[in-house]
Amino acid sequence: MKPKIALATISGKIYYLLVNELKRRDLPFMSLIPSDRIPLDVEVVITSNKERCKIIHHNVLEYDENAKPVEIIDEAMRIIRGNKSFDRLIIGVDPGENFGVAILGDGELLETGNCSSAAETMKKIEETLRRYSSTNAAIRIGNGAAPYSRELWNRLGMRTSISQNVVFESVEEEGTSQYLGQTSRRRAKIDVSSAIEIAQRQGRVIKRGKRKNLWESKLSTPSSSNE
């Protein structure tokens, strides 16, 4: 597969941060210096703010070394995919003090991220459902960290903007989160990894109804499957 992302920078720090994120996702990329000619196959070029003026390309993203690498790579992938539609879209959430989020499209990892609250996670879910069209969509939430998952379930229950065709699932979270004694940065990475596992696990379908408290529904709904 020919690389569709090019890193065009002489900044060692920026290059190191972005390469680590690209390798973590197994995404092919091309390394250039700002004065190099951009191959026609490249769809997105990532560079620094200072080097932007040297790049001639229709899709250039400027990276601030103090920003999160995951965010600019997510943006690059959105540009590459455009308005692609998926047969199956899954949003996996690992609730906790930090909410890990992972988005899969037809089994492919599209985006990952961390949210600091249930409210921010809710916005991320709604934004994702607007951005990607799909025949079948599911929101899968890990069943651990009850106070946090309860708040997210209840926020979901109040959102009439989410189509009734979107399936809600509670996923067994055992074995997905192990970060005792880890640093906050390491925990954030593990939260994302847990969210990916949750997105990949089939859960228990939670029935939806008008004004229904989804947390209470979660506790009383018998196991079922949508796949």
Where do the domains of the chain lie, and which CATH numbers do they carry?
Answer: 5-80 (3.40.50), 85-220 (3.30.420.140)
Taking every pair of Cα atoms in the chain, the longest distance, rounded to a whole number of angstroms, is 62
What are the residues whose beta carbons fall under 8 Å from the beta carbon of 211, sequence distance 6 or more? Answer: 157
Assign 11 to helix, strand or coil.
coil
Span 101-144, pLDDT tens digits: 999 999 988 888 899 999 999 999 998 898 888 889 999 999 98
pLDDT value at 226 more than 80: no
Q: What is the DSSP letter of 71?
A: H
pLDDT confidence tier of residue 210, bands split at 50, 70 and 90: very low
Q: Average per-residue pLDDT in the chain?
A: 85
- Which residue bears the tokens 């390491």? 186
State if pTM tops 0.75.
no
Q: What is the pLDDT of residues 132-188, one digit of tens each?
A: 888 899 999 999 888 999 999 999 988 878 888 999 999 998 765 554 445 455 555
